[in-house]
Structure 1
């Protein structure tokens, strides 16, 4: 079963399409990187998935059931917004008790343990937490729901390197423990490559590329050589993006041939940047 699936999903605000005919599938148990430039539709997609926004057209399914304002059981979904909204006047302990009272099945003991592991004083008020501490508290609250699907909108944004490492470690440890499906929106492609096994690339409201990370790397190559090098492989592959001069060029190519004896397997960052630089969708 797919944990999250969309079929021709569209969302329009006035005359602007934030999402347009999006088809994607996130396998259950995957850790999925949701990437794209600013304004690509990442936050809109997550907001539609949790019912904060209604789709204009199409359908979104969570564990096979329609989601949205009147759809699936959202108890199976946990969401951490980019702003990590917490009640500033609440202490951490009060927020945990509030979450326990308002979410059936909330694992209060596990949430408290995560706060203790992060060395956060439960008596501290949310308004006095650092950015990294706010993220760790929001993550503990989300994971406490024991949800099957965890949606995270830019959880590492504006964190210092040490805090990013701490948050990422806490997330992956929790995922290993619970087996939850994760969709993680971020601009940091290098960190995502170390964390995620699935990729969804949004570009101007459309799904540009999606699939298992290693399979995507297998289907692409980076070749470097004379300017005509990319032209020579057009019968075997699609040139996603090419840059350089006639004397020296670098091209990202996509092929459906297994074990194409050309170039090198690209990293996920090279693949994403290649598609974002391509003027038209493939």
Structure 2
């Protein structure tokens, strides 16, 4: 396609312009191969001219070489994004390839930049098929979006169900991390009668804490108290003592009174 970074001299620009005129004449005589060769020479001299690329694309179009036409028009639009000719010929090339939507888009843009009756005629030719394809594509995209949405909802329900099953499989009652009722050291300390008496006394009146501070066993109470508070330790013990207290023993039944049957032996 030529080195587009090349800066042509004035002489090369003039030579390229002459070659372009010769190519146009060959094109009008339907000598499309000759026109392509002449446009190629013009492009080699002045590769930055977008019109040369678009016109060579037009010649390729006449030879039923739509892909070559599209390559030339792409280059023309790279050099000049407002090239109506490049949009026009590329749109026609897409029509030959059956790319109806691309064809309609290019031809519509060509008419917008520089209205051309031929381009407008080509646009009206491809518009019905382009609209059908567009509607079909929109419908397919909607269906695909619905499928993705249902898939996401199904996945979310499956995850929710799995989480629920995991929660149901977990123990109904878990031991709180700061509940000393389940602390082995606390349960062991409860076996000590003096320790129990201290807790019961504190439960009755928190002020009784002061009189036990000199007792060595108070250190263990203070240790548990640092976790949840001394008053709470005592109250917890009071509640624990009630729930774990053995039921009262039933009173023994009175033995039946023995009658003195000797009186009746006479």
Q: TM-score range with shorter-chain normalisation?
A: under 0.3
User: Would you tell me which structure has more strand in proportion to its own residues?
Assistant: 1
User: Would you tell me which structure has more helix in proportion to its own residues?
Assistant: 2
User: With CA pairs under 8 Å and 6+ residues apart, which has the higher RCO, 1 or 2?
Assistant: 1
In the superposition, the TM-score normalised over structure 2's length comes to 0.27
